[in-house]
Structure 1
Amino acid sequence: RMASDFETATTDAYDYEDYNDTEAVILCEKRDVAKFGAYFVPTFFHLLFIVSVFGNGLALFVLVKYEKLKTVTNIFILNLVISDLLFTFSIPFWAVYHSSEWIFGSFMCKLISGIYFVGFYSSILFLTVMTVDRYLAVVHAVSSTKFRSVCYAILASGIIWGTSVLSAVPKFIFLGTREDSNEGTLCEETGWKLFGCYQQISLYFIVPLAFIVFCYVEIGVTLIRCRMQGKQKAVKLIFIIVLVFFLCWAPYNIVTFIRCLQKCQAPTNSNCDDSFDYAFYICRNIAYFHCCVNPILYAFVGTKFRRHVSHL
């Protein structure tokens, strides 16, 4: 079973639509997919929770104990770590939901979903703004010093958190519980499903990916042109960051887009194919794993962070 904009793969044993007496009804059996999710997803979610809490928790501890939060980079890394931890906090609830049913009540359905989406959206936005900040620091090093200040970082962080909360408000409003004769208590979204789907793909994948690719291409070109010691290592890291972001998020968003198109169509034998549902589970888990990779790419790669961890 999938939760609400957890981009529902199967909330009932069958998918169906309204019909009249003259239309044929296509019933899509989803029992095998539901069983696959019930066994595979909770195990992965618990592993994801442990790794993310350890990695992001360690990054948070190092930032607070050793690093002075008076630089733009550290402020953004701190906010990225907090957003990843916020997202991670919701994971155990979804693991329990996948293994049985929603047992936490209607209010917790709204609250946990809200926390999940705020963490999800803010993490993507902080990755994007950190990329833009690096672009300004490298490509426009002189002119950007005027506004690359702590106040700038705090203001940008506030805007990102506000945008993430506003984007998650429809989820909080339209999400709720309902009883199903086959599946028990479900936590699902009752409206704005397609809007949320397209919002996620456009604002939280296509736009961030465009910014990330553009900024890192410009950074790479600038590093290659200048005679900078260790530039090969820096360019390699840039390539890895872009590649990891694309590999983690592109498959998930492509499958999500296909599923959005299917929701606009009447059920047919062709869109009853279970392969998209299996692909959705797998691609979504790969995307979620990105929150575990963030501390490695954005914190522990740095010499100072590695020295602090070694000291611990």
Structure 2
Amino acid sequence: MDELNSTWDYESYSPVVAETGACSTIDINKFGKAFLPPFYSVIFIISILGNGVVLLVLYKFEKLNSVTNIFLINLVASNLIFSFTLPFQAVYHSGEWVFGEALCKAVHGAYYLGFYSSILFLTLMTFDRYLAVVHSMVANRQRRGCYASCLSLAIWFVSFLASLEYFVHFTVEEYPMAGLVCEDQGEEHWLMFSFYKQIVLFFLFPLAVFVYCYMRITLTVMATRMAGKHRTIRLVFVIVLMFFVFWSPYNIVLMIDEFKVEEDCGSSLPYVRYIASNLARLYFCISPVLYTFLGRKFQNHARGVLASHFSCLASRLSISSSSRSLA
């Protein structure tokens, strides 16, 4: 009977006490308790390893003060900030919040800081790639380290402002049935503001930038005699497709949930939302890996790292000579 009195706030993944007369949440609570801790643990391990490899490759083979690499290092930092909150979430969803109120605020604030900054850095890198390909003459004069550093600082500032409410509103409450709960105590207008902020600023805006920029990149590449242009177009297509496939379902489910007229106790929507939201978080944890190692240059660098550390693999790893292309 204890489980009948608790449910989940799927947006913040915090257990909350359900209102009287709400649908039974036994099954969804069991699903979340079984699914989230191991899933967060796996995401954490994959993210640390993947982002660590990206940093290693950048350090060994790339100029760290180039525009693209400054953005990429900041993207990795965003993903690591997000990833380091996942062990706390894994422990939390296996029981109750045992880390105190200060960490309740810090963990959830950092969770959204990393999450939001990852989206904005991916958007910025997309726009920068568009400038480098479509407006190369102008971009080559203006794309300098100072330009990249100032834009990165602006992204961090916007992301901090967007996540500030979570640093402030999250607090620990104790419930007879659910125990210690780290939850968002913001008022209803703040919750509505958070919903539209995510949909507009962190979904529709990035999606529009992605589609427009990569359409222009594709048209520009097709109009040139660039070697390997078909590989470049495939790379562009994969990046846009993965962003849409991983990030769109969660936001679509959010909108359906927000505007539904009445609650359907037999609906599978909570399960869909669980899966879609965590797939989105998986994408942003490993996005630097996807963004870099789809390209041939970084594939060659990674092969070089493996060959230098594991001599038995050297004969099996071929390094392409065409590593200077966009792809």
TM-score of the superposed pair, with normalisation by structure 2: 0.86
**Partner of residue 278, structure 2:** 285
Closer/same/farther in 2, CA of residues 86 and 212 from structure 1, 3 Å limit: same
User: 1:292 offset after TM fit, Å?
Assistant: 4.2
Letter in 1 for 2:108: S
Give the paired residue count. 296
Q: Can you list the C-alpha shifts for 1:250-300, whole angstroms capped at 9, x where unaligned?
A: 0111112223335xx6xx5x4434411111110011101113442333222
Structure 2 counterpart SS, 1:185: strand
**Structure-1 separation of matches of 2:198 and 2:37:** 24
> Equivalent residue for 1:244?
242
For 1:3 and 1:161, the matched residues in 2 are separated by: 27
SS in 1 for 2:177: coil
Q: Retained in 1: the 8 A contact 2:171–2:185?
A: yes
Match of 2:12 in 1: 6
Relative to 1, partners in 2 of residues 1:43 and 1:7: Cα closer, same or farther, differing over 3 Å?
closer
The residue that corresponds to 2:209 in the other structure is 211
Mapping for residues 31-46 of structure 1, pairs under 5 Å: 31-46=26-41
User: Does the 8 Å contact 1:5/1:188 carry over to 2?
Assistant: no
The structure-2 alpha-carbon separation of the partners of 1:95 and 1:2, relative to structure 1 and needing over 3 Å to count, comes to farther
The answer as to whether partners of 2:104 and 2:171 remain within 8 angstroms in 1 is: yes
Tell me which residue corresponds to 2:128: 133
The CA distance in 2 between the partners of 1:143 and 1:308, in whole Å, is 29
Q: Deviations over 1:186-221 (max 9, x none)?
A: 111111222112211111011000001100000001
User: What residue in structure 2 maps to residue 307 of structure 1?
Assistant: 300
SS, match of residue 28 in structure 1: coil
Aligned to 1:107: 102
1:178 alignment partner, one of 173, 182, 186: 173
| Counterpart Cα distance in 1 of 2:220 and 2:297 | 24
DSSP 3-state at the match of 2:16? coil
Partner SS for 1:29 = coil
2:210 equivalent to 1:231: no
Seen in structure 2, the aligned counterparts of structure 1 residues 155 and 2 have a Cα distance that, compared at 3 Å, is farther
Distance 2:128 2:283 in 1: 20
Question: Aligned partners of 1:274, 1:178: CA distance in 2, in Å?
Answer: 29
Aligned to 2:174, the other structure's residue is in SS state strand
Pick one of 69, 72, 75 that aligns with 1:77: 72
Q: Is the 8 A contact 2:79 2:286 kept in 1?
A: no
What residue number does 1:21 align with? none
* 1:260 matches 2:266: no
* d(CA) in 2 for partners of 1:111, 1:47: 22
Going from structure 1 to structure 2, the CA distance change for 1:37 and 1:103 (only over 3 Å counts) comes to: same
Unaligned 5+ segments in structure 2 are: 1-6, 306-327
Q: Which runs of 5+ in 1 are unaligned?
A: 17-25
Tell me the SS of whatever aligns to 1:229. coil
Contact (CA 8 Å) 1:84, 1:291: kept in 2 or not? yes
SS where residue 278 of structure 1 aligns? helix
By relative contact order (CA 8 Å, sep 6+), the higher-ranking structure is 1
DSSP 3-state at the match of 1:176 = strand
Aligned to 1:19: none
* TM-score normalized by the length of structure 1: 0.90
